[in-house]
Structure 1
């Protein structure tokens, strides 16, 4: 009786082994197919992106759509508000300063555009959420949200006090989170819309006298990249566009003491030019865009070089921001 049992056990074991071998072969074939597809898609994507570099991308029409801009009372916020309005957008201006914000709205209306002004301290999450609810009630869907409000104290790290540093992170970073929590859910529900975040070239390169500021702008870069991946994995067909902007020093007065060894090469950017470039990037649906555009490529190449080599180049160019306390 023992032999038949052994025979049946041998047959059963052989069947399990055969099944295991078949599974192994199947998994190997599947892996090979996946690798082949990866290589094909990889190179097709490379070719596609190279072609895009030499072609004009289509721009979405913002006419008749609501565009919300924080910090619209002055500087880049005001310039973007004026230009969006000139394109036919209905601009919603948020700023903590009622007087300057009202002036932006007034100028837009005088030029024949459509604008609405609201006072909002973006440091306060409750105020943002409450005002966002009012926006939906009064205006409906907000198609484009531009997180622009920011402050830029310029002095060495050890000269920053606690209040100044906390306020910088509250405005430059945390306010972005509250804005996204307020407006992104409806964008996802409708599967449309655009979120724009103003980082800075200080979010690409570390700069003296801007240590906390660089920290906030690197944070903007990081959270936008992470959010893009989160949305992509949650819904590969997600049509909500995320655009991170890295402007160089713009002539708005925010950067008080710029320093240039070669002024013609690194001069301040005109606000009108910068605003037009930002709006173009948003309308084209770019994930990242520097102003000027080539700065992102410069940063990527710089990361391939040894630190000491890059520092030699930085010292030679001698471009940056001097302290606003001296």
Structure 2
């Protein structure tokens, strides 16, 4: 009886301590939200970007280069990757370009070996390559669904699998993967895409936990980016009832958010960034209330051909 009482007291004290510490940590995070810490320098880092041939990938490459990073451009379109590398060099940066189909594990493995002959290691990975077929679920072909999963999900896995061992050996690195608002809440007309982006967010969350709990004291950050709509042409027919609130993000601003997230070591970032708090709020609502709020904002994607 005495032992049971003692155990109950200890458990109660531990719980109270946990609650107090969690509150203090939350307060510190809230303070840093209002008054962000100085961004860390990433000069000299080597950044590998998939889907670097255009859009966000190209702009991210340019912004990292402006901060003193060496850029490795991967794209299924070699000419586009080379154009990005040329633009990086035009602003005084260092860059190399490779053709890579991230959906093919053997191609990723081969190109990773070639990269290791050009640069000593990779410090930061930006998993940006992706596709977004947009039409009703039953009109997606089997081939289209396979391609969506192969590029959006397996592509991230194959790239991380090749370069994570080097990061673990050096005990530092940063993994960034593009998810989507459709990877945080269901969205009509993009069911396979939404499934793939939920998978990416799950993968990154699991990797974060695995790196955090590793006994080797690793300093490997994992960042997941969840854009609403970025003006890249991927989302051709967005439906937005309140554009002043859920605005379309231009490519330069999107790239700036990604670079800033890396420099701050953020774990989960939405675009626009304040959508994160809106998402947290609506996810705790009962399903009927959640549906009402979603219907009120009437935001989604109209079907279109690629």
Same fold (TM over 0.5): yes
CA RMSD of aligned residues (A): 2.0
What is the Cα deviation at residue 124 of structure 1? 1.1
- C-alpha distance in 2, partners of 1:316/1:24? 53
User: What secondary structure is seen at the aligned counterpart in 1 of 2:245?
Assistant: coil
3-state SS in 2 of match to 1:229: helix
Aligned to 1:78: 58
What is the 5 A alignment of 1:142-161? 142-161=122-141
Indicate how the Cα distance of structure 1 residues 26 and 130 shifts in structure 2: closer, same or farther if over 3 A, else same.
farther
Q: Can you give the 5+ residue segments of structure 2 that lack an aligned partner in the other structure?
A: none
Structure 2 match to 1:238 = 218
Choose the corresponding residue for 1:222, options 185, 194, 202: 202
Residue 205 to residue 39, structure 1, CA distance change in 2 (3 Å): closer
Q: Cα distance 1:265–1:42, how it changes in 2: closer, same or farther (>3 A)?
A: closer
Match of 1:279 among 246, 255, 259: 259
Q: 1:114 pairs with 83, 89, 94, which one? A: 94
More displaced, 52-61 or 163-172? 52-61
- Partner of 1:49, secondary structure, is helix
Residues 204, 296 of structure 1: 8 Å contact kept: no
Q: Secondary structure at the match of 1:311?
A: helix
Offset at 1:27? 4.7
Per the alignment, residue 78 of structure 2 pairs with 98
Q: What is residue 197 of structure 1 aligned with on the other side?
A: 177
Runs of 5+ consecutive residues of structure 1 not aligned to the other structure: 1-20
- TM-score, reference length from structure 1: 0.88
Q: What are the Cα deviations for residues 44-85 of structure 1, in whole angstroms up to 9, with x where unaligned?
A: 212221221111123222212110000000111111111111
Q: Which is further off, 71-80 or 265-274?
A: 265-274
Bigger CA drift: 87-96 or 258-267? 258-267
- For the 8 Å contact 1:92–1:116, the answer to whether it is kept is yes
| Aligned partner of residue 118 in structure 1, secondary structure | strand
SS of residue paired to 2:289: helix
Q: Deviations over 1:95-118 (max 9, x none)?
A: 010111111111111122111101
Alpha-carbon deviation of 1:136?
Answer: 2.5
Matched, 1:59 2:39: yes
Q: Does 1:187 align with 2:167?
A: yes
Structure 2: distance between partners of 1:184 and 1:283: 19
Count, aligned residues: 306
CA distance in 1, matches of 2:98, 2:67: 21
Alignment correspondent of 2:287: 307
Residue of structure 2 in register with 1:3 after alignment: none
Q: 2:158 aligns with which of 178, 182, 191?
A: 178
Q: Aligned partners of 2:276 and 2:243: how far apart in 1?
A: 20
Partner of 1:209: 189
**What is the rounded CA distance, in whole Å, between the counterparts of 2:147 and 2:98 in structure 1?**
21
Aligned 1:8-19 pairs, distance under 5 A: none
Q: Distance in 1 between matches of 2:37 and 2:290?
A: 33
Superposed CA deviations along residues 248-267 of structure 1, whole A, max 9, x for unmatched, are: 10111111111223334333
TM-score normalised by the chain length of structure 2: 0.94
Is this contact kept in 1: 2:133–2:305, CA < 8 A?
no
Which range moves more in the overlay, 281-290 or 130-139?
Answer: 130-139
Q: Which is worse superposed, 40-49 or 208-217?
A: 40-49
